[in-house]
Homo-oligomer: A and B are copies of this chain.
Amino acid sequence: MTRRKEFDREQALDAARDVFWAQGYEPTSIEDLVRAMGIGRQSLYDTFGDKHALYLEALRRYTTNSVAELIALLRREGSPKETLALVLLAEAALPPEARAMGCMGVNSICEFGQGDSEVASVRAANGALVERALTELLTEGVACGDLRADLDVRAAASSIQCTLGGLKVSSKAGAPPALLRQIASFTLDSLQAR
């Protein structure tokens, strides 16, 4: 009954996410987007609404994917201590181009703050998921003796999430991987029994 789209919606959305991720919201023009997405202007507006709606969808896609990835890592087989090390050392292991992009969620915090409630709610929901998975892992770590018996698990979970954010910022600022590893090791060390 109708003509079919010539492009793949998800693929175009991925391209948009990458542009927003690398450049942020304001500095990204519709022109940048249509070029990267490989579609026409009108197709963009018909399919995604407007620039803000597209950004929101791209951010949702980013957080959903990256949180799912992080949670999969947190719930993997293996000792909690090793898993924590993997999580904390992940940033330092990324290639330079990936480190230069930082975290799209952190970027959106700096760009929008609490000003945009839709953007804020996307982040809040996913932050809570990470918090929970992290708490589970820490609880398991304490139980099996990997971590300090007197560890305040809730505080530690918040603190680790804070450190992960800090690592992303330091990384984007150009900190060398060796420094990132040093921070990761130190943080890890403070959780363990001594």
B186 touches A158 (CB 8 A): yes
Is A155 in contact with B169, judged by CB distance below 8 angstroms? Answer: no
Cα distance A124–B165 in the bound complex, in angstroms: 19
Chain A, 92-122, CB within 8 A of any chain B CB: 100-102, 106-107, 109-111, 113-114, 120
**Other A-B pairs beyond A101-B113, A155-B183, A162-B169, 15, CB < 8 Å:** A24-B26, A24-B110, A27-B111, A102-B109, A113-B172, A113-B173, A120-B173, A159-B182, A159-B183, A159-B187, A161-B166, A162-B167, A164-B166, A165-B165, A166-B167
Interface set of A (CB-CB < 8 Å, partner B): 24, 26-27, 100-102, 106-107, 109-111, 113-114, 120, 123-124, 127, 150, 152, 154-156, 158-159, 161-167, 169-170, 172-174, 179, 182-183, 185-187, 190-191, 194
